[in-house]
Amino acid sequence: MTEKPAIKFRTRRSFPVLYMFAVTFVATGILIGLSRSTAGRVEANKQILFERAVLSALGVDAGQRPSPANIHQTFLAQVKSPTESTAGAYRLVRDGATAAYALPFAGRGFWNEIRGVMGISPDGSVLTGVAFYEQSETPGLGAEIVKPAFTEQFRNLKLAGGSSALGLKPAGTKTSASEVDAITGATQTCTRLEDILNDALGAWRREMGLHESGGAAAPDGSGEDG
């Protein structure tokens, strides 16, 4: 960079190639360095987002405006990692007993993957809450699913038995206790989200042997679709 080659060098045919190579080399070098140096931070941010979603779904209070460190400590203290017997769900332990399960779920939304966590009571009949930690739905529409106005509806939501444990219905049309208001203008996101939640819940309850349980009595026979 510092030497001053003769003009001749710059008119050689190989000069553009070498020049492009050099600029690319410098630029990518800096970017790789930057990305490496922040990788730990980015990873930690993701972990905290997940832990915050778990705590929020379980309804655990980590304090007023919790700092990342607070969230992490609360998570470590109260939540146990999934084992074989929980079918992939995290456990909230209170006084040695399981107070609730936190089941991570994922599925395709309107634009991209939606990932979140739902908190479920030990008998699988009531949701303690739902929280999302990754989504790229349309800002202002589908992305409203992360707002408390939407997620708070799942707090202590009584689930129905069978394969459609809950429903997202257009605002003002819900008919049973297991339904919540969907978001106007985000029909696609809500329809898909409803399926994601029901699929995850159904699979988990089957694996846990909680299939027939549910707030409302399951209809006679299996509640599964034919």
Partner 1 sequence: MNGAGGGQKSVKALAMEGLWTNNPIFGQVLGICSTLAVTNMVMNTLVMCAALVVTLSMSSLSISLLRSWTPRNIRMMIETLIIAFYVIMVDIALKAYWPEMSQNLGPYVGLIITNCIVMGRAEACANTQPPLTALVDGFFNGLGYSFMLLLVAIPRELLGMGTIMGFAAPYFSGPHWDKWIIMVMPPGAFFMLALAVWLFRSIQGPQQKEGAK
Could you list the residues that contact partner 1 (CB under 8 A)?
10, 15-16, 19-20, 23-24, 27, 30-31, 34-35, 38, 41-42, 45-46, 49, 111-112, 134-136, 138-141, 143, 184-185
Beta carbon of residue 15, minimum distance to partner 1 (angstroms, whole number): 6
Q: Which amino acid is at 198?
A: N
Closer Cβ to partner 1, 109 or 124, answer by number = 109
Beta carbon of residue 82, minimum distance to partner 1 (angstroms, whole number): 24
Question: In 19-58, which positions are buried (b, 16+ CB within 10 angstroms) versus exposed (e)?
Answer: eeeeeeeeeeeeeeeeeeeeeeeeeeeeebbbbbbbbbbb
Largest CA distance in the chain: 90
Closer Cβ to partner 1, 21 or 224, answer by number = 21
* Residue 5 host element (H or E): none
Beta carbon of residue 151, minimum distance to partner 1 (angstroms, whole number): 15
Closer Cβ to partner 1, 70 or 138, answer by number = 138
Beta carbon of residue 133, minimum distance to partner 1 (angstroms, whole number): 9
Neighbours of 130 (CB within 10 A): 26
- Dihedral (C-alpha) 199, 201, 205, 211: value to the nearest 10 degrees? -70
Beta carbon of residue 124, minimum distance to partner 1 (angstroms, whole number): 30
Closer Cβ to partner 1, 115 or 211, answer by number = 115
Closer Cβ to partner 1, 18 or 217, answer by number = 18
Q: What is the CA 96 to chain-centroid distance, rounded?
A: 27
